[in-house]
């Protein structure tokens, strides 16, 4: 099972790094008789609407679970609409601290709806003022990845208007206090770059960083100093004179408004862990910390959260391991949690001590456009080794290239990344063919397939995921025994039943139907 992360299925054209690259192995798969395209965004993966881009979290949840679960934003939207979110013990405890101290709101500052949404932030801001909070500080992480590369000022302007109204209507003091680009501070994942988390922690907590009078001034100044997009901008601190306005103190409340787990885990641990060794937190304040969701159900991080995550049980992996079907999962650090944690229904440990083997290939700690091959060859090496061991009936891997390099907005680098992926893909497919096995190939969402947009003759880099369908292929030495099934609205959730049938098992009755059937049936 191969997930080519970010490799969407979009029309050919100069903005499509997938089709602009020389990819003979991929082309061969896509031209086979058991090849189609399936949905990987919106309602097909449990998001609120079909205007919502898919992402790696919900994509791998759907692939592994075989069913569609209401996901992050949809869960929170429902909790806000019903008001249930404000009745939780976590919200009440947040208020207990915030009414006597400061409420600190931390999160990705956009409406990209992949990790967060500013609508959720505004709901919290307004409810906090209604519930008696008089002092609130926002610590904003600039996006430029799930939204336009340089769109930060749009979101800052909108937020400043919301804060101005709240301050005037309720006679409170709510302000933006710090920030920085999401790939420069705070939002690391899988332990790839703890220094990024440390920079964010020091900026948000202790007010360490370059000072500006407003967030808009900070962004405008840095735009004049670099060509980088918002996601790479340096940390900044808002100050009155030389005094940072948003440092944290004992008794304060800190609420992380991100709903996606992978890039929320490390900063959550930095705030709430009693024993913490990843970096020196200095004079670590005793704050009450909460998240929008529980980001890791096994680690129980964070300890307090506002909305219950989807309970995902009965995954494909659980059924197959119960049927004595050993498996492996392989990826590099940047996507390791996707093919393990998310795939297994948000569980951070293998489902079986010996029969589910996880292999993490360390990612390079470099900008992805500087090393576009990433660890594709090492992933192929490890995969081929495990395939040839004879121990496993099935396995799954994730190639990160199309997504991580695609996020940089660098078309040439992304084309190069696709060619490196293809070289590795060819080796894995050849090994499976030699073993007379089956390759199931797909992607979790699009990205590299649309690298820029054009309006009024002006091209703008597109660094976000896309709404594209993704390829789905079953490849084997003799495909004549099978044919594609006629499935209404096929999506990523149909993959699990397909894999189970290929392994000779009847999928559970509540799974989305298989994408294949016996020829002539």
Q: Which domain CATH number covers 33?
A: 3.40.720.10
The answer to which of 125-134, 192-201, 459-468 has the lowest mean pLDDT is 459-468
Residue 499: pLDDT band (50, 70, 90) is very high
Same domain, 110 and 136: yes
- Whether 329 shows a pLDDT value over 80: the answer reads yes
Same domain, 178 and 107: yes
Tell me what pLDDT residue 298 has.
58
C-alpha 258/C-alpha 131 separation (Å) is 22
Of 307, 324, 345, the residue at which a domain comes to its end is: 307
Of 282, 307, 332, the residue at which a domain comes to its end is: 307
Give me the number of domains the chain comprises.
2
Residue 48: pLDDT band (50, 70, 90) is confident
C-alpha 466/C-alpha 450 separation (Å) is 7
Of 262, 283, 307, the residue at which a domain comes to its end is: 307
- Whether 333 shows a pLDDT value over 70: the answer reads yes
Same domain, 219 and 128: yes
Same domain, 161 and 61: no
**Phi then psi dihedrals of residue 452, to 5 deg:** -155, 155
Same domain, 128 and 266: yes
Same domain, 363 and 248: no
Residue with tokens 């306005």: 245
Identify whether the C-beta of residue 414 lies closer than 8 Å to the C-beta of residue 408.
yes
Catalytic residues: 56
Angle, vertex CA 365, rays to CA 359 and CA 368, nearest 5: 95
Same domain, 285 and 399: no
Residue with tokens 């940047």: 334
Same domain, 173 and 289: yes
Q: Pseudo-torsion of CA 279, 284, 288, 291, nearest 10°?
A: -20
Same domain, 216 and 336: no
Same domain, 369 and 286: no
- Whether 191 shows a pLDDT value over 90: the answer reads no
Tell me what pLDDT residue 29 has.
98
Q: Pseudo-torsion of CA 186, 187, 192, 193, nearest 10°?
A: -20
Residue with tokens 């089709």: 19
Q: Residue 82 is part of a domain; what is its CATH number? A: 3.40.1450.10
Task: Find the domain containing 370 and state its range.
Answer: 2-68+311-518
C-alpha 476/C-alpha 35 separation (Å) is 12
The answer to which of 63-67, 68-72, 236-240, 414-418 has the lowest mean pLDDT is 68-72
Hey, what are 75's tokens?
Answer: 């869960």
Dihedral of alpha carbons 505, 506, 508, 511, sign: positive
Same domain, 231 and 274: yes
Please report the DSSP string for 49-62 in residue order.
STTSPP-HHHHHHH
Distances (CA, A) of 71 to 58, 63, 261, 323: 7, 14, 11, 29
Same domain, 325 and 179: no
Residue 297: pLDDT band (50, 70, 90) is low
Residue with tokens 């440990």: 349
Identify whether the C-beta of residue 17 lies closer than 8 Å to the C-beta of residue 421.
no
Query: Which pLDDT tens digit goes with each residue over 138-185?
Result: 999 999 999 999 999 999 999 999 999 999 999 999 999 999 999 999
Q: Residue 281 burial (CB < 10 Å; 0-12/13-18/19+)? A: middle
């Amino acid at each position: 099972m191969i997930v080519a992360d970010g490799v969407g299925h979009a029309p050919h054209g100069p903005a499509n790094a997938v089709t602009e690259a020389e990819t003979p192995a991929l082309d061969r798969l896509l031209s086979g008789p058991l090849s189609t395209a399936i949905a990987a965004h919106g309602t097909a993966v449990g998001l609120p609407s079909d205007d919502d881009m898919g992402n790696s979290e919900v994509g791998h949840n759907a692939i592994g679970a075989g069913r569609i679960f209401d996901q992050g934003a949809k869960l929170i939207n429902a909790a806000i609409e019903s008001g249930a979110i404000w009745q939780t013990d976590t919200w009440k405890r947040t208020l207990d601290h915030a009414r006597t101290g400061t409420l600190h709101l931390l999160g990705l500052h956009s409406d990209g709806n992949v990790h967060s949404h500013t609508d959720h932030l505004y709901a919290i801001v307004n409810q906090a003022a209604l519930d008696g909070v008089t002092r609130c500080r926002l610590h904003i992480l600039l996006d430029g990845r799930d939204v336009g590369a340089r769109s930060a000022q749009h979101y800052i302007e909108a937020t400043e208007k919301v804060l101005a109204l709240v301050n005037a209507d309720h006679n409170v003091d709510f302000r933006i206090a710090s920030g920085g680009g999401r790939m420069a501070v705070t939002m690391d994942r899988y332990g790839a770059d703890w220094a990024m988390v440390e920079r964010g922690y020091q900026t948000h907590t202790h007010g360490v960083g370059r000072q500006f009078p407003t967030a808009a001034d900070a962004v405008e100044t840095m735009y004049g100093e670099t060509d980088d997009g918002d996601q790479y901008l340096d940390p900044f601190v808002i100050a009155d004179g030389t005094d940072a306005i948003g440092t944290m103190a004992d008794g304060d409340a800190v609420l992380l408004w991100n709903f996606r787990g992978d890039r929320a885990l490390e900063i959550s641990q930095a705030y709430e862990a009693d024993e913490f060794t990843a970096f020196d937190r200095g004079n670590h304040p005793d704050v009450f910390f909460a998240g929008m969701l529980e980001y890791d159900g096994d680690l129980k991080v964070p300890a307090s959260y506002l909305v219950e995550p989807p309970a995902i049980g009965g995954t494909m992996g659980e059924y197959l391991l119960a049927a004595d079907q050993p498996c492996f999962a392989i990826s590099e650090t940047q996507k390791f949690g996707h093919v393990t944690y998310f795939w297994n229904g948000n569980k951070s440990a293998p489902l079986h001590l010996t029969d589910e083997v996880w292999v993490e290939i360390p990612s390079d700690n470099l900008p992805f456009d500087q090393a576009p091959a990433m660890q594709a060859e090492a992933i192929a090496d490890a995969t081929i080794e495990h395939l040839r061991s004879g121990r496993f009936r099935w396995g799954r891997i994730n190639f990160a290239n199309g997504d991580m390099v695609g996020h940089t907005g660098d078309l040439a680098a992304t084309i190069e990344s696709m060619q490196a992926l293809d070289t590795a893909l060819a080796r894995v497919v050849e090994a499976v063919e030699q073993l007379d096995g089956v390759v199931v190939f797909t992607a979790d969402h699009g990205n590299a397939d649309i690298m820029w947009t054009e309006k009024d003759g002006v091209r703008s880099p597109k660094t976000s995921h896309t709404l594209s369908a993704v390829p789905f292929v079953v490849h084997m030495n003799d495909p004549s025994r099978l044919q594609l099934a006629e499935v209404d609205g096929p999506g990523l959730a149909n993959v699990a039943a397909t894999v189970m049938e290929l392994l000779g098992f009847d999928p559970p009755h509540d799974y989305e139907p298989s994408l294949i059937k016996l020829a002539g049936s």
